[in-house]
Structure 1
Amino acid sequence: MAQEWALWLPEQALKTLRYGGFYTVEIQPGLRVVSLNMNFCARENFWLMVNSTDPANQLQWLVHVLQASEDRGEKVHIIGHIPPGLCLGSWSWNYYHIINRYESTVTGQFFGHTHLDEFQMFYDEETRTRPLGVAFIAPSVTTYVNLNPGYRIYYVDGNYKNSTRLVLDHETYILNLTEANHNLESPGNPEQNPKWSLLYRATEAYGLSSLFPSDYDKLLGIFISDDRTFQKFWYLRHKGHVSESCREACKTTMLCFLRSGCSDELDLCDHLNGFAGNLARAARKTLC
């Protein structure tokens, strides 16, 4: 892999890539990307029984990178495959601590893995009420399972002095397989180049001015009080392909997932306004 990526990555990045599959690169003056190897937190990785806290010292390395970026006044975007909220508990909690410590440095977190269009929130560890980070979970081009292919474009605060480098907006595009397959079956009108189309733009879909952590925290409150908006999210989460609405225990489980950027954080469900105790317990039973 290091050989294949040598055209794009500097030698220092290739060194840590060879060692543990993680690296960091300065993208622009003032903006650094950190790519994490999320195999080191995967619940399915039985080798982590040997060391589930910080395999290959990746999180320790991340702290050093973030501290150096803080000293230089850089902003950092973290990319990875598995969202931290779906990782092993010990790794997930340590990552959460790091995001709390470097909340002014880490201004973007981008993950995938679920194949769905989702996000997970990070809050301050003292009160669990002040939003300080969002892990964006982008939809997949793959159709697994019963999904349209999709991809995401992020709009980020630009390259200027003192830029926040925060995500301002994003757009999701899909390939409607139902339409594409229908055109393929139409006599004399084969669809050689299926059309990708804009499914939604986040600020427009949810009536937000930006996509800062505080905006997503408010959106969670809207999901609780306005079921119509939540059902729109549920439809967009599945890239425009969903047959059943999500209500009661399903909705509570989903809201717990969105709020919990850390593994095993389901006690927060009890503190969400509008959650009945029975529903919170149902969600906890479902997810644990």
Structure 2
Amino acid sequence: MEENKLLIILVVNTNLYYAFNTLGTDVPDPCGQFAWLRSKLQLAQDEKLKVIITAHAPPGYFEREALVPFFNDSYNNAYVDLLNDFGGVILVQIYGHEHTDSFKLFSGPKGEIESVALLAPSVTPWHASVFGGTAINPSVRLYHYTRSEVLDYFQYHLNLSQVISSSDSTLNTTADSSLEAGNETEIPKWELFYQARETYGLSSLSTINMASLYKQLESNNTLFQKYYLFNSAGYNNGVCDSSCKKNHICAIAYLKIDDVVHCMHFKSPRSHTLSYEHLSKFGKELAGNFHKSNASQLIITLVVVSMALTVVLAVVLAVMLIMVVIKRSRMTTTSHMNITNITTDLDLSCFLKAWRGREGRRGEQLPSEVGITATGEPHQGILNAWEDDAWHI
């Protein structure tokens, strides 16, 4: 077997399954990607190869609010089941989308851990408006792996609080170019935030070790609070209480809605069982509605109605603008008609004052043809000057 065939990297377009992607929600296998993925995983299994799967959005639920789904429900379950069928050949799964730092365990029907997904935080510090969303520090992750094992990752970040508050957060460098010689550029310090293997005390990031880490996060609150700070790339959200922790623990280990709701329910204190039963029921219905096609149709309807209202408003504003223009045009015409009726009985001094005021405002000189006669018809020069000025109104 050729050396370059010992590891396969499969890039999957999981946006096809995204909860808010309403196109093709009634299609069992959008673009035939499930069939394609199964064929590639089967090939890897037959050839005894290892596979890295990478995609944008992960399956399952947001760890900061465990009832916020990423996939449509039917696609979520199909995707999870498919990967669980080939857990033995999957070296690791790598995702983004959440903007936060976490991981997910893919478990079979009997609870056995089949594979692990690592979720890297984002470069953008954008504070997402979703339930549980948080601001983060810009982050970049470097993975260290072999063809048979994921050994470690190095998580770098830019501490924005430090950059804003401390001059020590920058490095002064002088450009080498002769065109820019002497110019100094402030470069923010990107730093190693943590190293996974060292921080969590792991020999590698294998599926077994990550499952062990999950158990430690459940029982060791000090370690969990450290993970929680990593989750937002060092942006301080305070202490994660028991309710907050429950969301993380359930979202990491359970990727299907029934399992997540079950986890959230049975992890609650007995004294809150009744109220939590109602909360779980509501949460399940809420999450389920994210996935159903009728909910997708509702979203489409709302968007169409909003667009229609916007068009109507634009038409109304356009009509109002046209009416104002017509009214002003009529007023200007009336003014011109009144000027033609001027006789020598008019006190022309006020007209000249108006011109002088015009001169002061615009820096223009009174037209030389403007004149005044004591008797007779109105001076044509005044009319010419007025009409000439009217074109500029």
TM-score range, shorter chain: 0.7 to 0.9
Which sections of structure 2, spanning at least 5 residues, go unmatched? 61-69, 128-134, 173-183, 288-393
The separation in 2 between residues aligned to 1:88 and 1:27, in whole angstroms, is 38
Are the equivalent residues in 1 in contact too, given 2:261–2:280 (CA < 8 A)? no
Pick one of 108, 117, 123 that aligns with 1:135.
117
Question: Structure 1 residues 232, 43: CA separation in 2 closer, same or farther (over 3 Å shift)?
Answer: same
Report the AA paired with residue 159 of structure 2.
N
Question: Structure 1 residues 36, 264: CA separation in 2 closer, same or farther (over 3 Å shift)?
Answer: farther
Is 248-257 or 109-118 further displaced after alignment? 248-257
Query: Does the alignment pair 1:28 with 2:4?
Result: yes
Question: Structure 1 residues 268, 204: CA separation in 2 closer, same or farther (over 3 Å shift)?
Answer: farther
The separation in 2 between residues aligned to 1:40 and 1:98, in whole angstroms, is 16
Q: Which residue of structure 2 aligns with residue 41 of structure 1? A: 17
Shift of 1:97: 1.5
Runs of 4+ in 1 over 4 A off after TM superposition: 183-186, 277-287
Q: Which residue of structure 2 aligns with residue 60 of structure 1? A: 35
Q: Which residue of structure 2 aligns with residue 181 of structure 1? A: 164
Per the normalisation by structure 1, the TM-score is 0.78
Pick one of 110, 134, 141 that aligns with 2:94.
110
Query: Does the alignment pair 1:242 with 2:236?
Result: yes
Larger proportion of helix? 2
Question: Structure 1 residues 104, 284: CA separation in 2 closer, same or farther (over 3 Å shift)?
Answer: farther
Q: Which residue of structure 2 aligns with residue 74 of structure 1? A: 49
Q: Which residue of structure 1 aligns with residue 58 of structure 2? A: 83
What SS is found at the alignment partner of 2:87? coil
The separation in 1 between residues aligned to 2:185 and 2:31, in whole angstroms, is 48
Q: Which residue of structure 1 aligns with residue 225 of structure 2? A: 231
The separation in 2 between residues aligned to 1:153 and 1:260, in whole angstroms, is 26
Are the equivalent residues in 2 in contact too, given 1:42–1:82 (CA < 8 A)? yes
1:158-237 pair list within 5 angstroms: 158-159=146-147, 164=148, 166-183=149-166, 192-237=186-231
Shift of 1:246: 1.0
Report the AA paired with residue 131 of structure 1.
I
Are the equivalent residues in 2 in contact too, given 1:250–1:283 (CA < 8 A)? no
Per the normalisation by structure 2, the TM-score is 0.58
Aligned residues: 252
Larger radius of gyration: 2
Report the AA paired with residue 155 of structure 1.
H
Are the equivalent residues in 1 in contact too, given 2:41–2:89 (CA < 8 A)? yes
Report the AA paired with residue 204 of structure 2.
S
Shift of 1:238: 0.5
Q: Which residue of structure 2 aligns with residue 265 of structure 1? A: 259
Question: Structure 1 residues 99, 246: CA separation in 2 closer, same or farther (over 3 Å shift)?
Answer: same
Pairwise CA RMSD = 2.8
Are the equivalent residues in 2 in contact too, given 1:149–1:175 (CA < 8 A)? yes
Report the AA paired with residue 175 of structure 1.
L
Q: Which residue of structure 2 aligns with residue 6 of structure 1? A: none
Which sections of structure 1, spanning at least 5 residues, go unmatched? 1-25
